[in-house]
Structure 1
Amino acid sequence: MATRTDAPTRREQILREAARLFAERGFHGVGVDEIGAAVGISGPGLYRHFAGKDAMLAELLVGISGRLLTGAKRRVSEAGGSPGGPEGVLDSLIEGHIDFALDDRPLITLHDRELDRLRDSDRKLVRQLQRQYVEIWVGVVREVYPGAGEAVVRSAVHSVFGLLNSTPHLGRGGGLPSRAATGELLHRMARGAFAVVG
């Protein structure tokens, strides 16, 4: 959702509002009528697009895991031949995750709170996609810091994800810096965390 520049489809509008409402009030605290009202259609009209709330939740969580993985593969491919080498690839991965963390905050909250509500098959798919995403990062970080052991690198990758995925908690006390300043800060902090493993 974050990288599109054209107008969102009705289906994407529904998913965006569902994610926002689910993150604010919990999956069971939101009805289809409220989601419909948020996009200007009747609750029953949602059933032309989704079988129900469970289907929306599955598409949101499976969808973002798939988009992160696809984006990481693309970034590795595009940055692989750049003069920056592995360092440039790592910077690109960090930038991609920061874009997600700043632009899709409700999905982070949703993942933390509602993943267990997915059907087993959908939850397994999310975990599978996430494992592949982690492996891309581990491979790149090990290229940047070849002396670091795999277990240390893997722990560092998960720690950086925790750092970057803290964005839903930003700005609660006011005074939040601009998006650009927040992104730059997160990037410096992520690189600083990885530097420890080197």
Structure 2
Amino acid sequence: MGLFASRGYHGVSMDDIGSAAGVTGPALYHHFAGKEAMLVAALIPVSESLLEGGKERVARHSDDVEAALADLVDFHVDFALTNPAVIALHLHELDRLPDEPRRQIRRLQRLYVEEWVSVLSRVRPELAAPEARVLAHAAFGLMNSTPFLGGEVERRRRADLLRDATIHALAGR
């Protein structure tokens, strides 16, 4: 994923990937049909994991929507800071996938967004679902800015800043 994120899909060959993995490029064909299959194998589990993690956090706080929202934000900030290459891949390479896996990833992403919309609609009952969806996407934009942040701010402080900014943006106060 790091190679795809840093060089782009077309800037990476199977030989480059094989070399990074300590094997020859052709050896990878025993496990993957090609670069597209590798990208699919990298991105689908990430989207599944985000959806599962989001559902777990919402269920964990079924009686406290404020706590559910805070847990969702913590979860996503941690994901974003831990996986900037994955975010960069989603932003820049998702459209290179064949139709079916791209649709599968988009469906998983929509379901993840709807977990946020459900919580936001209860935290902010004055919002219609489409408005809550706008806020959820705005929050993702803020939290997913991590691939573009420099390392001049220590990770824990970056997490605190992202968390606070996201909570304030969603709270509407």
Normalised to the residue count of structure 2, the TM-score between the two structures is 0.94
Q: Give how far 1:111 is off.
A: 1.1
- Shift of residue 79, structure 1, vs aligned partner: 2.8
Render the CA deviation track for 1:34-86: whole Å, top value 9, x for unaligned: 111112122122223222111011122222111110111111122335xxx11
Aligned residue number for residue 75 of structure 1: 57
1:193 matched to 2:172? The reply is no
3-state DSSP of counterpart to 1:194: helix
1:129 counterpart (94, 108, 119):
108
Superposition map of 1:1-198 within 5 A: 19-80=1-62, 85-171=64-150, 175=152, 177-196=153-172
1:147 aligned counterpart, secondary structure: coil
Rounded to whole Å, the distance in 2 between the matches of 1:116 and 1:148 is: 31
What's the CA shift for 1:147?
2.1
Which AA in structure 2 matches 1:140? V
Whole-angstrom CA distance in 2 between matches of 1:103 and 1:48: 30
Aligned residue identity for 1:192: H
Distance in 2 (alpha carbons) for counterparts of 1:49 and 1:189: 42
Q: TM-score, normalised by structure 1?
A: 0.83
Between the aligned partners of 1:98 and 1:129, the Cα distance in structure 2 is 18
For the residues of structure 2 that align with 1:54 and 1:97, how far apart are their CA atoms? 26
- Alpha-carbon distance, 1:148 to partner: 2.2
User: Runs of at least 4 residues of structure 1 off by over 6 A?
Assistant: none
Cα shift readout 1:94-132 (whole Å, capped 9, x = no counterpart)? 111111111111111111111111111111111111111
Q: Which segments of 5 or more consecutive residues in structure 1 lack a partner in the other structure?
A: 1-18
Counterpart Cα distance in 1 of 2:22 and 2:60: 40
Query: Partner of 1:61: helix, strand, or coil?
Result: helix
Partner SS, residue 127 of structure 2: coil
Gaps of at least 5 residues in structure 2 are none
Could you tell me how far apart the structure 1 residues matched to 2:37 and 2:71 are?
Answer: 32
**Deviation of residue 141 (structure 1)?**
0.8
How many Å separate the matches in 1 of 2:165 and 2:28? 41
How far apart, in 1, do the equivalents of 2:130 and 2:13 lie?
A: 43
Size of the alignment, in residue pairs? 173
Give secondary structure in 1 for the equivalent of 2:16.
Answer: helix
Q: Which has the higher helix share?
A: 2
